[in-house]
Homo-oligomer: A and B are copies of this chain.
Amino acid sequence: MGKHITPNANSDKLFEQIYDFLLERIKRGEWKANEKLPSVRALATEFTVHRLTVFKAYQLLKQNNMVYVKDKSGYYVQPGNELPPGAQQDPIISAYVYDSHLSEIHQVQASYQFSKALLDPNLLPNRYLSDYVKRVFDLYPKVLGTYSTTQGDLELREALSHYFTERYRCELSSQDILITSGSQEAIDLLARVLVRPRDVVLLERPTYSPAIDVFQRQGAEIVPIEITPYGYCLEQVEELMQKYKPRLFYMNPTFQNPTGYTVPAEQRKRLVDMAAEHQCLLIEDDSNPDIYFEKAPPAPFFTYDTAGYVIYIRSFSKYIAPGLSIAMVACRPGIMNYLLKAKSLSDSGTPLLNQKIFLHYFFSERMQQHLEKLRIALAIRKEIMEEELSATSWQWSSPAGGFNLWIQLPESTIMDRLLASSREQSITFVPGSICDPLRDMNTRIRMSYSYLNEQQLREGLRRFISLYSELFP
């Protein structure tokens, strides 16, 4: 076997060779579906390489759904990856490589899912929601027989227009609103409409992981903007706008994901002016401005926008009803025209039923009560996390809202080991590197306090902390 491996190659090269070696044999069916693969130790000895190199190759095979891990006993061949009979190699599989890092982490089943920045379903007003659904059917008996328009239900768009106009005292017409099936669709449509290969896109560092994947898929050149508890360094932003003439800056400036940081009000207006001056669009992704612990965050960037350079994505479902998948985009007509065409080709409009349920629930009094309860519940969960974390030397900046803690582990942490051991203990978290456009930040992690209940949070975190001390004493 060893002859397949070039002995003096550097470790990247070795890694690739081992990966290809394994992949080829799985595809050719030399190892059958559900068969146990050689151990990391055995392969490392056989190839005379470091075990970490073999481990990495297996990790990548796992990411690509070629192998799976069973209990703690090793790697097994994932069924269904054999070549179709007769085919020498699959001409299709090489087609179009997408990455979707976060969704791969979410596929892992675990007891302590600190990786999920989703709301615990028990925190939702499930009983009331089903009342609203029944009401919707009484009001619109033919709602399931009707397609929405591509742009979204007019009644909903008008209600949202009224809501934003009232709340922020800035005109927003129903014509400038598009309803999407969640914010992920909004980001994807905008990237497809606005970004071409080699366009420069500014992203926060760190940022929302799927946004990196989406803009990279479009072939964008990504330039990072550091985000800190004090926002951005505006001088740096201006310099980069001048130097690279970026197409757009995708930002998540309120209770940012993953850091929880909020860009202060005084930077918002200046940045909007700067964007207009440099003709750089700002995509403001605002996912949970209502989930604050003490006071409401500053008004969104779009409220400062007079020249039409801010595209505002607002998602609601994350903290109201994830099962509805409702978000909106507000933007100027020139961009809306293109978004509408893109949306009409990518689905037949967001389902009308979901829009109507959202409409009736979101603008109800019950909604305000739900929000108040939610803020308290999440504040308590965050405090439990921080209480447990205070026993460590780890660092984090306490967020004023949102779902996440962004934790700095000691520099000596070896992330791959921590990830693998945590999964064995049924604990998941998001490694910082997948949130970093530079794929660095190897000693940062995102842990969410929104999905687990108080007891699970405490238990899971205790286990995680003790696991960490064992690994890195």
Contacts of A335 in B (CB 8 A): 92-93
One of B103, B118, B129, B281 near A341 (C-beta < 8 A): B103
A338-364 interface code vs B (CB 8 A; 1 in, 0 out): 101110111111011110010000000
Q: Are B98 and A126 in touch, CB under 8 angstroms?
A: no
Residues of chain B lying within 8 A (CB to CB) of residue A45: none
Closest CB in chain B relative to A72 CB, distance in Å: 24
Residues of B within 8 A of A130 (CB): 137, 141, 144
Q: Is A252 an interface residue (CB 8 A)?
A: no
B-contact 0/1 string along A111-146, CB 8 Å cutoff: 000000011011110110110011001000111111
Number of copies: 2
> Quick check: is A30 within 8 A (CB to CB) of the other chain?
no
Report Cα–Cα, A122/B279, bound state, in Å: 50
Min CB–CB distance A342 → chain B (angstroms): 5
Q: A7 in the interface, Cβ–Cβ < 8 Å?
A: no
CB distance from A274 to the nearest CB of B (A): 14
Given A279-B91, A307-B87, residue A124 in contact with residue B145 (CB < 8 A): yes
286-345 of chain A: CB within 8 A of chain B: 306-309, 321-325, 332-335, 337-338, 340-342, 344-345
Contact status of A144 and B118, CB under 8 A, knowing A81-B333, A98-B338, A185-B346: no
Chain A interfacial residues counted at CB < 8 A: 94
Scan A68-95; emit 1 where CB is below 8 A from any B CB, else 0: 0000000000011100111100111101
Q: Using Cβ atoms and an 8 Å threshold, which residues of chain B touch A217? A: 345
Q: Is the CB of B345 within 8 A of A324?
A: no
A64 at the interface (CB under 8 A from B): yes
Stretch at the interface among A160-168, A191-199, A411-419, A424-432: A191-199
Q: Let me know if B126 and A142 touch, CB within 8 A.
A: yes
A96 within 8 A of B: yes
B307 near A146: Cβ-Cβ < 8 Å = no
A100 on the B face (CB < 8 A): yes
Q: Given the complex, which residues of B lie within 8 Å of A346, measured CB to CB?
A: 184-185, 188, 346
A16 to B67, CA, bound (A): 57
- Is A214 in the interface zone, CB < 8 Å from B? yes
Q: Tell me whether A92 and B194 are in contact (CB under 8 A).
A: yes
Identify A145's interface contact among B102, B121, B145, B150, CB under 8 A: B121
Does A213 have its Cβ within 8 Å of any Cβ on chain B?
yes
Mark interface residues in A351-380 (1 if CB within 8 Å of B CB, else 0): 111100100000000000000000000000
A184 to B214, CA, bound (A): 20
A98:B145 contact, CB within 8 angstroms = no
* Contact assessment for A84 and B196 in the assembled complex, using a CB-CB cutoff below 8 Å: no
Report yes or no: B121 in contact with A334, Cβ–Cβ below 8 A: no
In the bound complex, do residue B144 and residue A351 qualify as a contact, i.e. CB atoms below 8 Å apart?
Answer: no
In the complex, whether A453 has a CB less than 8 A from a CB of chain B is no
Q: How far is A344 from B332 in the complex, measured between Cα atoms in Å?
A: 27
A95 in contact with B338 (CB, 8 Å): yes
Across-interface contacts of A188 in B (CB, < 8 A): 345-347
Docked pose: A279 CA to B81 CA in angstroms? 18
Q: Which of B323, B334, B351 contacts A146 (CB 8 A)?
A: B323
Q: Are A96 and B192 in contact (CB under 8 A)?
A: yes
Complex contact A185–B347 (CB within 8 A): yes
**Min CB gap A284→B, angstroms:** 16
Those 3 A-B pairs whose CB atoms lie nearest each other, nearest first: A121-B145, A80-B333, A103-B344
Q: Name A residues whose Cβ lies closer than 8 Å to a Cβ of B.
A: 64-65, 79-81, 84-87, 90-93, 95-100, 102-103, 107, 118-119, 121-124, 126-127, 129-130, 133-134, 137, 141-150, 173, 175-176, 181-182, 184-185, 188, 192-196, 210, 213-214, 217, 276, 279, 281, 306-309, 321-325, 332-335, 337-338, 340-342, 344-349, 351-354, 357
23 contacts between A and B (CB under 8 A): A84-B307, A85-B306, A92-B335, A95-B196, A96-B195, A96-B338, A97-B338, A99-B341, A100-B345, A103-B345, A119-B145, A122-B142, A122-B145, A124-B144, A126-B144, A130-B144, A134-B134, A134-B137, A145-B323, A148-B323, A182-B348, A188-B346, A214-B345
